[in-house]
Amino acid sequence: MIENDLQQQIKHCYEHDGDIVVVHDNDSVLSKALMEEFKLAYPDSTFHLFCEDTKPFLDSLEPTMIVLIQSSSFRITKDRLRVDLCLKGHKVMEFVRLERIQNVSVYLDSLRFDSPRYRALGQWLSSLEGPIKIMNGDCTFTVPETDVWKYNDGYFNKLYSAGFPIGEAFTEAKDLSSTNGTLTVFGFPNMDIKLQTVDPFTMTIKDGRVISHNGPQKFEDILQMIRDVEGEVLVREIGFGFNRGMGPDRTVAEPTAFERFEGVHVSLGKKHALYRKKISKKVYQKYHIDCFCLVKKIVIGDTMVYNGNFEAPQQSGDVTA
């Protein structure tokens, strides 16, 4: 039962008290389960089944708190519905592509309220100076200097409001050709865009590009798909997930949800919407494919930031939003 966690998330991070509006479908086991959790948390609120009448219904609302529970992805215009609603002044909490999730209990555990910790970790990591070293046994991957850090910690911002689950800080190398080393990969999206977990294998990066690996053919197929379009496989995002509800042994099939697991992921391909100015618009940028890594230690500069888990030095009380 996570209804209290949902209430805390909306109260503290969206700064909203009172009733909410939930727009949902009944097309998956998880969408139904999540809707029931919100009914327990907000029994007197409005629950609207997404249909042809949704646009006039939403147009009639004054700015408020809206929750989107989607087995796939709701669209009324060419944009995701979340974007449309944010532009109209609504606060939006989004759950998307729930039809891919079979492990309902793991997904619901990933929604536990932990935003103050996520915010503390993100602020702490971004305050540290020096190269990042990601280590797992004989594998070490180094990022000499990072770009601006970004966060997904649940604190509402109408200019950038990512979907749930949450709990992540990410960056990329200031110079995309500067990263080198090896990573231990245990998961990646398959051609059906579902998480594929495999026996751990080593991926080697030189000058920011993947040059070799000893993984399965399915991973090679992904790399070749990127090469066929972009000519090479560039490593961009360096993501640190903080969500303790998920892990290598507690997975969900939706990769964009699983990237918040407590650990490390990196993106392959030249596309990254939040760092789009790094590469010229003249260069075709199609792919952003996350792969998920095993890690034992992470050091930034002289500071150990991960030794089995992430723990910022001080995490008591609320953190400045």
| C-alpha dist (Å) from residue 87 to 16, 65, 118 | 18, 13, 26
Return d(Cα 228, Cα 281) in angstroms, integer: 19
Axis-axis angle for helices 3-13, 115-127 (nearest 10): 50
List of the chain residues with pLDDT < 50: 316-321
The predicted-structure confidence for 198-257, as pLDDT tens digits, reads as follows 999 999 999 999 999 999 999 999 999 999 999 999 999 999 999 999 999 999 999 999
Which DSSP helix (H) or strand (E) runs through 6?
helix 3-13
| Six token digits for residue 187 | 């998961």
Tell me how crowded residue 113 is: count the other CB atoms within 10 A of its CB.
Answer: 19
Return d(Cα 246, Cα 182) in angstroms, integer: 24
Residue 305 CB contacts under 8 Å (≥ 6 apart), including other chains:
124, 125, 128, 298, 299
Per-residue confidence (pLDDT) for residue 80, from 0 to 100: 85
Task: Please return the burial class of 96, using the count of CB atoms within 10 Å of its CB with bins 0-12, 13-18 and 19+.
Answer: buried
* Residue 240 near residue 170, CB atoms below 8 Å: yes
Per-residue confidence (pLDDT) for residue 90, from 0 to 100: 93
Residue 187 CB contacts under 8 Å (≥ 6 apart), including other chains:
195, 196, 197, 198, 248, 251, 258, 291, 292
* Residue 94 near residue 152, CB atoms below 8 Å: no
Per-residue confidence (pLDDT) for residue 158, from 0 to 100: 57
Task: Please return the burial class of 162, using the count of CB atoms within 10 Å of its CB with bins 0-12, 13-18 and 19+.
Answer: middle
Tell me the residue type at 34: L
Q: pTM for this structure? A: 0.92
Task: Please return the burial class of 47, using the count of CB atoms within 10 Å of its CB with bins 0-12, 13-18 and 19+.
Answer: middle
* Residue 289 near residue 225, CB atoms below 8 Å: no
Residue 95 CB contacts under 8 Å (≥ 6 apart), including other chains:
31, 34, 67, 68, 69, 70, 163, 164
SS3 277: helix
| Six token digits for residue 63 | 């700015």
CA angle centred on 245, ends 297 and 192, rounded to 5°: 90
Per-residue confidence (pLDDT) for residue 159, from 0 to 100: 52
